[in-house]
Amino acid sequence: MCSDKKEPDYALGTKSDGTDSFETITALVAADHEHDIKLRTMSWQKTACLLAGEQVCLAIMAQSWSLSVLGWVPGIITMVLCGLLFWVTSITMHKYIMKHPHIMDICDFGYHVFGQSKAAYVFSAFMMLANNILLIGFHVLTGAKVLNTLSDHSLCTAVFSVIVAIMGIVMSMPRTLQHVSFMSMSACMGIAVILFLVFAGIEDAPFYGPKGNYPTEGPVKTYAFPRPGTTWVACMNAVMNITFIWVPQILFPTFISEMERPQDFPKALAVLAAISAILFIVPSAIGFRYLGQYATAPAFGSLGVVSYKKASFGFVIVPTLVIGVIYANVTGKFIYTRILGKSRHSHSHTVIGWSVWGAIMVGIWILGFVFAEIIPSMGDFLSLLSAAFDSFFGFIYFAVAYWQLNRGSLFENRRQTAMTVLNAFIMVVGLFLLGPGLYAAVEAIIADYSGSITPAFTCANMAI
């Protein structure tokens, strides 16, 4: 719900003890609770469930492939570094929002952090909509892959995509994130990961590899560094695959804006960081250990026994739908506010309000369905998303926010100097992803189009 409202009481870059911000938050919560549809109701525990539900996703199962490209040393270093930068940038975001508590989403954040720039607001809005709708498309395609796998391709793949989109529309009807947070408490992704690790461990060897069937590339082996012949484009795509899973901050301002006590957000963030550190690194390392150079993305595709694939991959359908719903909710609120503004329909149970909300959800999921059908390779497209969007929403925006919060005192002591240097590095990472990273992603997509690609709205079997 991006707004153009300015906040003259909170000057950019000035220090504050937070008293005025806390008073403003109290007033905002009180005003919200007078409405029929209350948004600012989430506790930090529910926010933690929402964060985990959004970030614990299928992309976890692509990390073993990243390790198979990069090797142990660069791969693990990249994972740990991404985790560290995720924590630093997320805390910077929270500090900035606490000084500007009227911020409702990443569009408002961009507007303020770049000096209340209308251009930054419009750019942030476009990038948010593009990112979220493309990700919804990714989850539509993932859902179709799951149904293909479970049913042995009993229906046309495009029909499966329609089924997933309809399910997404129905699940997206609640208008508050508190309702969505209950959906996010599913342990299905954890079950899928555990089953995969068990099956990978008991199989004699992986069956499918990126270049053929086992043992065309020899015995399974792991290695410290990229194998000879690994291209720079492949390495960059592997790095961006890791980066993608660690950069969910585009949704954080919206989550914070619906908390009853947004000052408690670091508690929810700590829970997410602990869960992410375990789930993003440990299963990936175990998967690489058993799959080696035969690792696929997602790793379920490396399992040889069909029943193992179905038993583990089938659980992915629940988090796939829930994550799509979360992105649809955030996107829908932005569009909804653009249409109805602050009229009574935006916070009351009216026929017009619910009709507009329903129409928006249908439109969002239809667009997601279309993107799911026309994109040739979702793996490469995730790299493109990481380069084009995560460079801004995971790094550049928060390096600028740090400067706005601390300008005038960037080097006042050793700790501040160290943090300034770290945030300068964060800016460099963002620019690197935007430059060489975007080039590598585009090169990979061009390579897809130059070969045999799946036609749009296909009935071809897309089971893993």
Predicted confidence (pLDDT) per residue in 150-209, tens digit: 998 888 888 999 999 999 999 999 887 776 766 655 678 889 999 999 999 988 888 765
Burial of 153 (0-12, 13-18, 19+ CB in 10 A): middle
| Residue 296 to residue 464: CA distance in whole angstroms | 10
Per-residue pLDDT, 108? 94
Structure token pair of residue 224: 């410290």
- The percent of residues in the chain predicted with pLDDT above 90, rounded, is 55
pLDDT one-digit tens code per residue, 391-410: 999 999 999 999 999 998 99
Per-residue confidence band for 6, with pLDDT thresholds at 50, 70 and 90: very low
pLDDT greater at residue 270 or residue 2 = 270
Per-residue pLDDT, 432? 95
Q: How many residues does the chain have?
A: 464
Task: Give the dihedral sign, CA 120/40/394/241.
Answer: negative
Domain count, the chain: 1
Q: Strand pairing of 208-209 and 212-213? A: antiparallel
pLDDT one-digit tens code per residue, 354-379: 999 999 999 999 999 998 887 756 66
Q: Residue 256 domain-assigned?
A: yes
Residue 17: pLDDT over 50: no
Per-residue pLDDT, 14? 32
Residue 411: pLDDT over 60: yes
Bridge partners (DSSP) listed for residue 259: 42
Q: Residue 457 domain-assigned?
A: no
Q: Residue 30 domain-assigned?
A: no
Residue 238: pLDDT over 80: yes
Q: Residue 19 domain-assigned?
A: no
Maximum CA pair distance of the chain? 67
Per-residue confidence band for 147, with pLDDT thresholds at 50, 70 and 90: very high
Per-residue pLDDT, 378? 61
For residue 71, what are the domain limits?
Answer: 41-450
Q: Residue 11 domain-assigned?
A: no
412 Cβ neighbours under 8 A, 6+ residues apart: none
Average pLDDT over all residues of the chain: 86
The 3-class SS string of the chain reads CCCCCCCCCCCCCCCCCCHHHHHHHHHHHHHHCCCCCCCCCECHHHHHHHHHHHHCCHHHHHHHHHHHHHCHHHHHHHHHHHHHHHHHHHHHHHHHHHHCCCCCCHHHHHHHHCCCCHHHHHHHHHHHHHHHHHHHHHHHHHHHHHHHHHHCCCCCHHHHHHHHHHHHHHHCCCCCHHHHHHHCCCCHHHHHHHHHHHHHHHCCCCCEECCEECCCCCCCCCCCCCCCCCCHHHHHHHHHHHHHHCCCHHHHHHHHHCECCHHHHHHHHHHHHHHHHHHHHHHHHHHHHHHHHHCCCCHHHHCCCHHHHHHHHHHHHHHHHHHHHHHHHHHHHHHHHHHHCCCHHHCCCCHHHHHHHHHHHHHHHHHHHHHHHHCCCHHHHHHHHHHHHHHHHHHHHHHHHHHHHHCCCCCCCHHHHHHHHHHHHHHHHHHHHHHHHHHHHHHHHHHHHHCCCCCCCCCCCCCC
Residue 424: pLDDT over 90: yes
Q: Compute the average pLDDT of residues 322-329.
A: 92
Residue 213: pLDDT over 70: no
Q: Residue 142 domain-assigned?
A: yes
pTM above threshold 0.85: yes
- What distances in angstroms separate CA 386 from CA 201, 326, 394, 435, 439, one per listed residue? 31, 19, 9, 12, 12
pLDDT one-digit tens code per residue, 302-321: 888 889 999 999 999 988 99
| Residue 204 to residue 200: CA distance in whole angstroms | 8
Residue 12: pLDDT over 50: no
Per-residue pLDDT, 341? 76
Compute, in degrees rounded to 10, the torsion defined by CA atoms 151, 153, 154, 158.
Answer: 120
Q: Residue 172 domain-assigned?
A: yes
Lowest mean pLDDT across 34-43, 176-185, 221-230, 326-335? 176-185
Per-residue confidence band for 118, with pLDDT thresholds at 50, 70 and 90: very high
Q: What is the CATH number of the domain that holds 434?
A: 1.20.1740.10
Per-residue pLDDT, 208? 61
| Residue 183 to residue 316: CA distance in whole angstroms | 14
Task: Give the dihedral sign, CA 62/66/72/77.
Answer: negative
Q: Residue 222 domain-assigned?
A: yes
